[in-house]
Chain A
Amino acid sequence: MNEHESPFATADAVARNLIPLLFAIGFVVLGTLPYQIPLLGPVFPAMTLVVVYFWSIYRPELLPPAAVFLLGFFQDVLSGAPLGLSSFVLLLVHWVVVHQRRVFIGKAFWISWAGFGLVAIGAAFVSWSIASIFHGTFVAPGAIFTQLLLTIAIYPGISWVFSAAEKIIPHHE
Chain B
Amino acid sequence: MRATGDRVERFTLPFKVVGQRVTLIFLLVLSAAFLIIGKANPPLMEGLRTSVIAATAPVLEVLSRPVSTLNYLVTESRDLFSLHEENLRLKEENARLLQWQTVARRLEQETSEFRELLNIKEDPKSNFNSARVIGDTGGPFVHTLLMNAGHKDGVRKGQAVVNGKGLVGRVVATGTSSSRVLLLTDLNSRIPVLVEQSRYRAALTGDNTEYPQLSFLPLNGKVAPGDRIITSGHGGLLPPGLPIGVVRSVEGDDIRIQPFVERDRVEFVSAINFDRPHPFDEEIKTPAVKPVVAPDETPAEAPAVKQEGTP
Which residues in A have some Cβ–Cβ distance to B below 8 Å?
A: 29-44, 64-66, 68-69, 72-74, 77-85, 87-88, 91-92, 94-95, 127-128, 130-131, 134-135, 137, 139-140, 142-144, 146-147
Contact = CB atoms under 8 A, between A and B. Distances in A.
16 contacts: A33-B134, A33-B135, A34-B145, A35-B71, A37-B264, A39-B210, A41-B143, A69-B27, A78-B56, A79-B142, A81-B141, A81-B142, A82-B39, A83-B45, A87-B34, A135-B187
A49 to B, nearest CB: 12
Nearest to A87: B31
A84 B137 contact: no
Interface in B22-68: 23-24, 27-28, 30-35, 38-39, 45, 48-49, 52-53, 56, 59-60, 63-64, 67-68
A131 B48 CA distance: 20
B133 interface: yes
Given A33-B63, A65-B23, A135-B188, A127 B141 contact: yes
A123 to B, nearest CB: 12
Interface residues of B, number: 54
Contact of A88 (B35, B67, B141, B144): B35
A8 B267 CA distance: 44
B136 A83 contact: no
Nearest to A38: B264
8 tightest CB-CB pairs across the interface, nearest first?
A84-B34, A44-B138, A143-B140, A88-B31, A87-B31, A84-B35, A34-B136, A79-B137
B310 to A, nearest CB: 26
Given A44-B139, A134-B39, A147-B140, A29 B32 contact: no
Given A88-B32, A134-B35, 19 more contacts: A31-B138, A33-B67, A35-B71, A35-B264, A37-B264, A39-B264, A43-B138, A44-B139, A77-B53, A78-B52, A78-B53, A78-B56, A79-B137, A87-B34, A88-B31, A95-B24, A139-B187, A144-B140, A146-B140
Nearest to A173: B9
A34 B133 contact: yes
B208 A65 contact: no
A17 to B, nearest CB: 17
Contacts of B267: 34, 36
Contact of B134 (A34, A41, A80, A92): A34
